[in-house]
Amino acid sequence: MIPIQDLLHRIRWDPEFGRGEFVIGYYDRIAHEIIRVPFLEVAFPKDGPGVFELIDCEGRTHTIPLHRVKSVYKNGELIWHRD
């Protein structure tokens, strides 16, 4: 299995592979469930290589470690998963 960092880099920087709608599923420790967010709604801070950030509906920024990413979908199809 490809490391999640490598897959996310490929989505961001490989123009051919990066075409399509990507969704990241990560484990939320508060809700105790997998939360799916569109890839276009996440940001990758330059000073935090092992995390991504997202802004919730109330405008708060959340920093999510990459080890909590559990799945990645491309055009609705599961392309990456870990337990």
User: pTM value?
Assistant: 0.91
At residue 48, the pLDDT reads 79
Q: Which domains does the chain have, with CATH numbers?
A: 4-81 (2.30.30)
At residue 1, the pLDDT reads 84
Q: pLDDT by residue for the chain (83 residues), tens digit each?
A: 899 999 999 999 999 999 999 999 999 999 999 999 999 999 999 887 899 999 988 999 999 999 999 999 999 999 999 98
At residue 54, the pLDDT reads 94
With helix as H, strand as E and coil as C, how does the chain read?
Answer: CCCHHHHHHHHHHCCCCCCCCEEEEEEECCCCEEEEEEHHHEECCCCCCCEEEEECCCCCEEEEEHHHEEEEEECCEEEEECC
